[in-house]
Amino acid sequence: MSENRNKEITSVGRRKTATARIILSSGTGKMLINGRLPETYFSGVPRFQENIIAPFLAINGLKQYDIKAIVTGGGIMAQSEAIRHGISRALSSLDVGFKSALKKKGYLTRDARAVERKKPGKAKARKSFQWTKR
């Protein structure tokens, strides 16, 4: 997380293989994800948009900050959760008072669950090949 001279805070959020680079600045609540509005980027699915605004609702600061996010990798759900993680990290570095509220909701914790790798001698990560008795 770094801070530029015009009070922009950058942070990174991750989930599975999705990575979100977040630029947070004080403003009026504008959000851009890969240059598009959240409504168009997430095809109007409310659950993904709720993921993004959840950190702001936790600190009661919905229309106080502008967000610019560059997201790569993963699916749409993982991308929205990566954005949420990045926004939470940026807000916690902005004000120490926000950290406890965000930590209580679990937004600062990186979800470490990822796809388990395929093992040799197995069909998938845990599935065995079909076994024939005779």
Q: Report domain extents, the chain.
A: 2-105
Q: Give the model confidence (pLDDT) of 75-88 as tens digits.
A: 999 999 999 999 99
Residue ranges of the alpha helices (H) in the chain? 38-41, 46-59, 76-94, 96-105
- Per-residue pLDDT tens over the stretch 1-10: 655 556 899 9
pLDDT of residue 89: 96
Which pLDDT score, from 0 to 100, does residue 4 have? 56
pLDDT < 50 stretches in the chain:
none
Tell how strand 31-33 and strand 2-3 pair up: unpaired
Query: Can you tell me the distance from the alpha carbon of 59 to that of 25, in angstroms, rounded to the nearest whole number?
Result: 16
Q: What pLDDT, on the 0 to 100 scale, is given for residue 61?
A: 87
Measured N-to-C along each axis, helices 96-105 and 46-59 cross at an angle, to the nearest 10 degrees, of: 140
- Strand 31-33's sheet: what is its strand order? 2-3, 8-15, 18-26, 65-72, 31-33
Dihedral, CA of residue 53, residue 99, residue 20 and residue 14, to nearest 10: -110
Class of domain 2-105: alpha beta
pTM reported for the whole predicted model: 0.90
